[in-house]
Structure 1
């Protein structure tokens, strides 16, 4: 039976089942609201990037210092003071909140035990990263949040994509969905929370906003910018659409990729399309930003080649196994595995092998003489213990001199996009005049707080914090 033009009505409707969506639903339910969660994917593939992330949130020991830290990280791309204030205060008690929900919270002892941006003002607020059970990845956070929703009787409808926001009297009053039985109009007395993830799986948006010509996906293939489109249709403004996180990747199947982590040895260098080195290969990636020329910049933005020798090949897998780092869509959802000695990738042609540097360069389509000079110059720097060209740490200068030699094309592995509908400190979406669009909220990757640099555990922390805020505020409108 229809009610006021809707097929059914709830207090709060949440779109998306990742960390932000789950936090919004749990927060609204705690406030006494009747909540519905709709999710476009089926149950086996839902959860967005939360499902395949490290599943950790940073531990904020001091809200005031956190304000300083975030402003310093955002640098020349500031966000509004009310957003900074909410972020700084709401991230302080995330672990306590999750414990109250029944989570077994423990601090990670292997990853993000200190800030990546340790020299940035305010970084002393960073006390490490908490996870479920003190373990990284394996979908542990997503599975806990799913169980928390189920235990509280919060309904989730999988395979039910939201297609359009419904408005009336200048406010968002509901959402239209493609349900298994057909189109349905679902009313939301308090509001609709968009927690639909980023747009990294939308090639057109990636080209238009990120200027990345070629990339492979690290995370959810469902992150196609649906929430961005719906918000824009009702007049939402947008912020920092050009910010993102790419890391070094290797092309897998169906547009997905493996994370390239060169942790086992240092007998390698990187060369661009011109056959020359272009950066300190061992510079910390810092969640998508690498220090180059005295400043942090987005990296990588284009493909290049890794060149390494036989010592590097036998030192261990170039992409982490799940025992080491159980994250990423291809690894966790599709069961992709990299061989322990990199031999399977040689057999498949992913890694090109040759007896000489000259032959290797010819096989990968680069100028052989230039590559030969580049490798010789790098090996000379290793012998001298000093990299005058890019300042690579002397302890990582290991020559590429023991054949056979190998090359691997490195492709930007796009993990997150950060930009989306602009929101205020109450997670309310605002229009291009800066006015609040009543009844519309955004949280998580669709509208990340981070306009520039971010540290370990920041993405999940931001999603949980503003998801809670959005659910609470929407419930308060009922």
Structure 2
């Protein structure tokens, strides 16, 4: 199999910017501009087409962060029952829909499906739907001649490219779904996850259909081949190697353009240089019948009517007000440093839907990494021994990779950590859980680069060595290593004790302290010993945000009562349900992989199914009978005098006396007002 290598100058430049050793030049692509190349350099990927804040997103006239932040008042802390999420969460920044008079609309066009955004997700929707006979119009804010797509890796399972051409073993879709839900704390939309697990390989093969044999040979399977004796299972998690990287003559932007051409050949129409501005909907926001877009060249408005409108126009990266609100964990971890992302999109597609009553992801919200402390050493996100500022071990370092295990470190005191390993660095390096922030390849060139870094550190003493762009320390004894890393005596003592416990757990074959798989605990007994002190950065955003609109398993946007809004769908980074707790490291390229696969399945669904039926199906079901013999429930909100009064209403615990007379009810004033979680301690609305 041939692997494509090119763009030497860009590789060196980006390696310098990142402060890392150039593990392998195959990790980088000749991309469309520095933004796309930077996405590849970080090993992270985004879901839709980039745009500048000046261009706006899918709604620049009213949807920019500046416009949103300048309108409205903050929501009251209480008394919001019955309001939409936009009215509560978006109070102070979401703003109102723009007023566009009928005589301002220069023309009207119609199709079965209107897609906002021609990136990974939007193009997949359009192509698949058109191939199956639907009429489709795609509205994209970028000009056609400068169109570009972010990223370069497509994560997936069990494509024929993986199984037949590359020779990667078939993965269990059952294991994958269960592991993925662990990453998402059970909050991942199960039907979307099932579609990805079962059909992402099919979508990848469809995406590259028509490529020549040489072009298919240039596609790079990340972390393949694995080293001899590699154990795919690390504790409860699997290493899903074989992500498809577009590292040859067909880069990611060209690949998306090819897919657009196939969509056109099937009858889809693409309109570039127009920003979707306002949804066309009924008075109460329960039905969408079109979208109004503004032409960036003429300033004219064009209305596109359709039975389905698909929002696939990017994340919230340049809209800090929206980012801070939706990705609350990241905002708070950064101690309220404004979040932003490199994607350049302002969340306007999401804002259009929120303004008519749509909900966004109900969780902490997520982006590509600022929810976790990721100690990237000269060996990347190596799962060696991690110590906090006190020299104490604080977590299972190998629990699902740094984007998951790093959540613990994000909450540790202080702004630094220490990584320690022994002279068996090669075994440690070559047996990592494959995924985001781990090395992408374990080939001879990669190993040689790491070895050069290790050898350069030998004898560097207290000065350390920064051959890799990061200061690495090496010593013959652990005591010397602690001194070289600048540890005070108490921290040094804790470090030596932590290493002793680590070695004992390895020897005993069980880590009762944090539950790490002992097969991944390499003993730290023989020198030379290596240490890497690193600063901690969390919050503030990253490459792209990954939280969007709350959707059903059919990718219908959900509004009040969690009911689907008729005619409105979301895909790609406009959609929630994929990374509710933050971007995960289950495999490289899973973001674009989700965009591609779920765009593929959504296009198929819209072209072949009666999707409107789910807006009325079940409405005639009989009411649920309520027994009078069951245990009384908690009070239904309120709880103060005049709202249930001293008795707490019907069947509830006394509002003021808590559990004193009511069998198990928590006192309303002691951390559980109105029967809920402590005020201020729960998840944001």
Spell out, residue by residue over 1:70-89, the C-alpha distance to the aligned partner (whole angstroms, 9 max, x if none).
36743663567765665566
Q: Which residue of 1 aligns with 2:347?
A: 225
Instruction: Name the SS for the 1:227 alignment partner.
Output: helix
CA distance in 1 between counterparts of 2:387 and 2:235 reads 29
Which of 155, 168, 189 is residue 56 of structure 1 equivalent to? 155
Q: Is 1:131 paired with 2:229?
A: no
- Confirm or deny: 8 A CA contact 2:313 2:573 kept in the other structure: yes
Q: Which residue of 2 aligns with 1:74?
A: 181
Residue range with higher mean Cα deviation, 15-24 or 152-161: 152-161
- Confirm or deny: 8 A CA contact 2:123 2:263 kept in the other structure: no
Deviation at 1:265, TM superposition (A): 7.9
Equivalent runs, 1:14-53 vs 2, <5 Å: 14-30=115-131, 31-40=133-142, 46-48=148-150, 51-52=151-152
**TM-score normalized by the length of structure 1:** 0.68
Q: Which residue of 2 aligns with 1:375?
A: 495
CA distance in 2 between counterparts of 1:348 and 1:110 reads 21
**Of the two structures, which has the highest relative contact order with CA contacts closer than 8 Å and spacing of 6 or more?**
1
Change (3 A) 1:203 1:281: farther
Where does the alignment leave 5 or more consecutive residues of structure 2 unmatched? 1-101, 161-171, 430-436, 444-448, 457-463, 613-685
Instruction: Name the SS for the 1:93 alignment partner.
Output: helix
Change (3 A) 1:80 1:305: closer
Q: Which residue of 2 aligns with 1:467?
A: 599
Q: Which residue of 1 aligns with 2:298?
A: 181
Change (3 A) 1:26 1:72: same
Q: Is 1:148 paired with 2:259?
A: yes
CA distance in 2 between counterparts of 1:146 and 1:410 reads 39
Higher strand proportion (structure 1 or 2): 1
CA distance in 2 between counterparts of 1:265 and 1:127 reads 17
CA RMSD of aligned residues (A): 5.4
CA distance in 1 between counterparts of 2:339 and 2:496 reads 34
CA distance in 1 between counterparts of 2:417 and 2:366 reads 22
Change (3 A) 1:283 1:34: closer
CA distance in 2 between counterparts of 1:260 and 1:425 reads 39
CA distance in 1 between counterparts of 2:424 and 2:318 reads 33
Q: Is 1:409 paired with 2:535?
A: yes
**TM-score normalized by the length of structure 2:** 0.50
- Confirm or deny: 8 A CA contact 2:340 2:542 kept in the other structure: yes
CA distance in 1 between counterparts of 2:370 and 2:522 reads 18
- Confirm or deny: 8 A CA contact 1:249 1:410 kept in the other structure: no
CA distance in 2 between counterparts of 1:117 and 1:359 reads 33
Q: Is 1:195 paired with 2:312?
A: yes
Q: Which residue of 2 aligns with 1:330?
A: none
Equivalent runs, 1:283-432 vs 2, <5 Å: 283-285=399-401, 288-290=403-405, 298=407, 301=410, 304-308=416-420, 341=453, 346=466, 351=471, 368-381=488-501, 384=504, 385-386=506-507, 389-390=513-514, 393=518, 395-398=521-524, 406-412=532-538, 414=542, 417-432=545-560
Higher helix proportion (structure 1 or 2): 2
Q: Which residue of 1 aligns with 2:460?
A: none
- Confirm or deny: 8 A CA contact 2:126 2:603 kept in the other structure: yes
Deviation at 1:149, TM superposition (A): 0.8
- Confirm or deny: 8 A CA contact 1:190 1:474 kept in the other structure: no
Instruction: Name the SS for the 1:58 alignment partner.
Output: coil
Deviation at 1:437, TM superposition (A): 2.0
Change (3 A) 1:161 1:26: same
- Aligned pair count reads 437
- Confirm or deny: 8 A CA contact 2:154 2:593 kept in the other structure: no
Q: Is 1:238 paired with 2:340?
A: no
- Confirm or deny: 8 A CA contact 1:448 1:462 kept in the other structure: no
Instruction: Name the SS for the 1:174 alignment partner.
Output: strand
Deviation at 1:421, TM superposition (A): 1.4
- Confirm or deny: 8 A CA contact 1:108 1:136 kept in the other structure: no
Spell out, residue by residue over 1:122-147, the C-alpha distance to the aligned partner (whole angstroms, 9 max, x if none).
x9xx9975636xx6799845431222
- Confirm or deny: 8 A CA contact 1:18 1:142 kept in the other structure: no
Change (3 A) 1:243 1:304: farther
CA distance in 1 between counterparts of 2:523 and 2:390 reads 22
Deviation at 1:431, TM superposition (A): 1.1
Q: Is 1:165 paired with 2:276?
A: no
Deviation at 1:177, TM superposition (A): 3.6
Deviation at 1:448, TM superposition (A): 4.1
Deviation at 1:26, TM superposition (A): 1.0
Residue range with higher mean Cα deviation, 270-279 or 18-27: 270-279
Spell out, residue by residue over 1:203-255, the C-alpha distance to the aligned partner (whole angstroms, 9 max, x if none).
4445433412339999842254333222211211233442536559999xxxx
- Confirm or deny: 8 A CA contact 2:417 2:535 kept in the other structure: yes
CA distance in 1 between counterparts of 2:234 and 2:544 reads 19
Q: Is 1:281 paired with 2:390?
A: no
- Confirm or deny: 8 A CA contact 2:372 2:407 kept in the other structure: no
